[in-house]
């Protein structure tokens, strides 16, 4: 529509100029030295307009010639980027289909002309991590992450974090190295801290895990409840390692733990089992019993019921006292059933075990150990058919809960 208005304007000007010139075309003389030009005013104006138009068109043509190579390059680059974008989509689809080798080839080939090459290299690294682990694939993976790092606008610690998360499932050593690099840059980043803790757990590096937890507590990086759970897990694993390596060092390590940690069921059970294995079941019984009297815990009572001492009758008496305040506790009743079995008090054991079945809440699965222990009692009494039924129920319940 714009060109139509322009054409109408030019026609209107031409008509007006013609009408104006017909009445009086005017006269103009231009002289310079021996050179003189005489013509009508109308013809001079028309010539001047044509000259200006010619200069304007010439300049535009020269500008177009100057810009033409750049426009060709820009158009060619736009086509290449469009193709690269299409190949990025194909590469992502190949990743989704788990066609790792195809995805790597497509993404690397299309990275150079892409406006976002880092996504191509990260995708290629993800693909190579899923290929069979060889020295060649590991070199390619590291190279792709380096390429992404050189073309990405994200901060280095985030890229190291992505690298660690990608490597975690297939190469724990490389993942730990990447996470450590991220932590060195941003030691107070919660997700980096969680990833590094997870890798320490994966590699059973509990000493470094505890050191990291100390830092996390100092700066309140993670929720306190989560930190406590992780600390107990790390201290339990570390206590097991030390006890297995050197008994004397293990006892020293236990004595140096804080009082609150020495009341944690997981740690108490580990140390009690160590004492029992070393032939000091009496100390193990005392440790479990005193801890239970301070805090009631299902894991502790289960360990108490399985502890073998030279005085099982005393264990039974202690456990029966707890029935006054925990009369409906299925774990306590199971423990009593096991203790009575060691005394060969079959009737009493059966009574406690059947009570344990009845005390299990309706919305919870019965502990398979109750069925299994009942089967043992009835087998000893010669009631084989009923014992087999309890064994079957134990197996069925275990399969359902696992």
pLDDT at 334: 94
Residues (pLDDT < 70) of the chain are: 1-31, 33, 37-48, 72, 74, 77-78, 152-154, 362-363, 402
The SS3 call for residue 233 is helix
Half-sphere exposure of 343 (CA within 13 A, CB side): 20
The per-residue pLDDT for 293 is 92
DSSP string, 8-61: HHHHHHHHHHHHHHHH----EEEEETTEEEEE-HHHHHHHHHHHHHHHHHHHHH
Residue 3 confidence (pLDDT): 57
pTM: 0.64
3-state secondary structure 325-394: CCCCCHHHHHHHHHHHHHCCCHHHHHHHHHHHHHHCCCCCCCCHHHHHHHHHHHHHCCCHHHHHHHHHHH
Q: What pLDDT, on a 0 to 100 scale, did the predictor assign at position 345?
A: 92
User: pLDDT for 192-248, tens place per residue?
Assistant: 888 888 888 888 888 888 888 887 877 777 788 888 888 898 899 989 888 888 878
Residue 17: predicted pLDDT: 54
Predicted pLDDT of residue 348:
94
pLDDT at 74: 66
Percent of the chain at pLDDT exceeding 70? 86
HSE toward the beta carbon, residue 280, CA cutoff 13 A: 12
Helix (H) or strand (E) holding 270: helix 265-277
Across the chain, mean pLDDT equals 82
């Amino acid at each position: 529509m714009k060109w139509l208005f322009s054409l109408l304007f030019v026609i209107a000007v031409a008509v007006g100029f013609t009408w104006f010139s017909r009445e009086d075309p005017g006269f103009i003389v231009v002289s310079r030295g021996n050179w003189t030009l005489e013509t009508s005013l109308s013809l001079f104006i028309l010539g001047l307009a044509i000259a200006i138009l010619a200069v304007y068109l010439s300049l535009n043509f020269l500008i177009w010639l100057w810009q033409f190579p750049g426009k060709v390059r820009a158009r060619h680059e736009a086509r290449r980027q469009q193709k690269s974008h299409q190949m990025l989509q194909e590469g992502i689809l190949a990743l989704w289909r788990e066609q790792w080798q195809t995805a790597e080839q497509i993404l690397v080939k299309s990275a150079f002309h892409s406006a976002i090459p880092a996504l191509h290299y990260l995708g290629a690294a993800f693909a190579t991590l899923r290929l069979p682990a060889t020295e060649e694939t590991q070199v390619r993976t590291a190279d792709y992450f380096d390429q992404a790092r050189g073309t990405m606008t994200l901060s280095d610690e985030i890229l190291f974090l992505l690298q660690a998360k990608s490597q975690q499932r297939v190469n724990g050593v490389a993942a730990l190295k990447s996470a450590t690099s991220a932590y060195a840059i941003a030691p107070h980043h919660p997700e980096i801290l969680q990833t590094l803790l997870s890798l320490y757990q994966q590699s059973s590096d509990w000493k470094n895990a505890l050191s990291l937890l100390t830092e996390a507590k100092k700066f309140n990086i993670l929720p306190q409840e989560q930190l406590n759970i992780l600390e107990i897990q790390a201290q339990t694993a570390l206590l097991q390692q030390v006890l297995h390596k050197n008994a004397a060092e293990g006892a020293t390590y236990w004595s140096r733990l804080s009082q609150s940690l020495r009341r944690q069921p997981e740690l108490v059970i580990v140390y009690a089992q160590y004492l029992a294995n070393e032939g000091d079941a009496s100390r193990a019984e005392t440790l479990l019993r005193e801890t239970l009297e301070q805090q009631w815990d299902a894991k502790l009572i289960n360990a108490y019921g399985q502890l073998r001492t030279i005085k099982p009758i005393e264990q039974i008496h202690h456990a029966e006292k707890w029935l006054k305040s925990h009369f409906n506790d299925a774990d306590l009743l199971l423990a009593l059933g096991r203790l009575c079995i060691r005394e060969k008090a079959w009737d009493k054991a059966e009574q406690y075990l059947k009570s344990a079945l009845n005390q299990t809440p309706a919305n919870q699965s019965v502990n398979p150990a109750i069925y299994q222990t009942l089967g043992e009692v009835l087998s000893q009494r010669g009631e084989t058919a009923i014992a087999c039924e309890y064994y079957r129920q134990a197996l069925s319940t275990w399969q359902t809960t696992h």
